[in-house]
């Protein structure tokens, strides 16, 4: 659950986690700016969220379009309390087969989009002395256990590092601005089918959560401003075990 109503921008809001988050937040009175490329899908999500939802058609991998989307949200609502960077795409290709285009695409979609969103809204947050950035990452940004997701894992590792560095930068100058990282595990959405090089029959790896379950966790982060949250129970322990194994002394 979230606390008092906020003005919240959600990127990648036309489907999956972003759409589920919009539907979760809307009944609590939040004012929503829903950003995505697909106007028709975005309109369908907004129709389920009531009159407080504003749709903004933009490609978040284009800095100019993100800047324009920010201006539209501020012009409409007057202020933004929380910005959720949720745009992302996976890949289905082994590391030995990756091309330059594969790497560039994963960085553009999973990292550049978040950086553009953060840099676009930060002047507003700094002027107000408060605000909240939420970056939706992945547990694959902690443990690269899916070899076909190799470039996606790398991009999410980069996003995690960028998020931590941004949090430290702002803590020193604008402590009223929070930066949160949310790491889902597998989620039952079209993510696997939409991954670069994926087949139409692709399915989520492991045992997936629903998009609604992940959305509920993100909503709790919006309320609490917690810095680092996993959506899957027990996942933090798995990450610690993986890192401990890497740090273990060699046998003999």
Using one digit for the tens of pLDDT, what is the confidence trace for 195-210?
A: 999 877 677 777 899 9
According to the model, what pLDDT value does residue 55 have?
98
pLDDT tens digits, one per residue of 151-179: 999 999 999 999 999 999 999 999 999 99
Distance between CA atoms of residues 228 and 207, nearest Å: 22
pTM of the complete model: 0.94
Please report which confidence band the pLDDT of residue 252 belongs to, taking 50, 70 and 90 as the band edges. low
Strand order in the sheet with 53-57: 53-57, 31-36, 7-11, 82-85, 131-136, 177-183, 228-230
Look up residue 244 and give its two tokens: 């401990």
* pLDDT exceeds 50 at position 103: yes
Look up residue 14 and give its two tokens: 């036309």
Mean pLDDT over all residues of the chain?
A: 94
Look up residue 181 and give its two tokens: 């990282």
Which residues does the annotation mark as catalytic?
152
pLDDT tens digits, one per residue of 64-102: 999 999 999 999 999 999 999 999 999 999 999 999 999
The CATH code of domain 7-247 reads 3.40.50.720
* Sequence-separated (6 or more) residues with CB below 8 Å from residue 78: none
Report domain extents, the chain. Answer: 7-247
Yes or no: say if 3 and 25 are a contact pair by the CB < 8 Å rule. Answer: no
Please report which confidence band the pLDDT of residue 1 belongs to, taking 50, 70 and 90 as the band edges. very low
Tally of residues, the chain: 252
SS3 165: helix
| CA distances for 13 relative to 2, 87, 158, 213, 222, angstroms | 18, 8, 22, 16, 16
Distance between CA atoms of residues 235 and 214, nearest Å: 13
């Amino acid at each position: 659950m979230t606390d008092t109503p906020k003005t919240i921008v959600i990127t990648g809001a036309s489907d999956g986690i972003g759409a589920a988050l919009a539907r979760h937040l809307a009944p609590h009175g939040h004012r929503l700016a829903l950003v995505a490329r697909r106007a028709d899908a975005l309109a369908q999500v907004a129709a389920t969220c009531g009159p407080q939802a504003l749709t903004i058609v933009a490609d978040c991998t284009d800095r100019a379009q993100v800047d324009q989307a920010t201006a539209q949200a501020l012009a409409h609502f007057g202020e933004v309390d929380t910005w959720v960077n949720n745009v992302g795409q996976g890949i289905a290709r082994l590391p030995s087969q990756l091309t330059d285009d594969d790497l560039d695409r994963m960085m553009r979609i999973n990292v550049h989009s978040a950086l553009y969103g953060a840099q676009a809204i930060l002047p507003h947050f700094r002027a107000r002395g408060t605000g909240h950035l939420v970056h939706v990452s992945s547990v694959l940004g902690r443990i690269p256990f899916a070899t076909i997701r190799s470039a996606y894992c790398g991009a999410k590792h980069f996003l995690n590092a960028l998020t931590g560095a941004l949090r430290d930068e702002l803590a020193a100058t604008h402590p009223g601005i929070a930066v949160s990282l949310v790491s889902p595990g597998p989620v039952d959405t079209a993510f696997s089918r939409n991954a670069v090089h994926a087949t139409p029959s692709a399915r989520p790896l492991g045992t997936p959560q629903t998009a609604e379950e992940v959305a509920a966790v993100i909503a709790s982060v919006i309320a609490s401003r917690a810095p680092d949250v996993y959506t899957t129970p027990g996942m933090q322990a798995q990450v610690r075990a993986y890192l401990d194994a890497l740090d273990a002394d060699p046998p003999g």
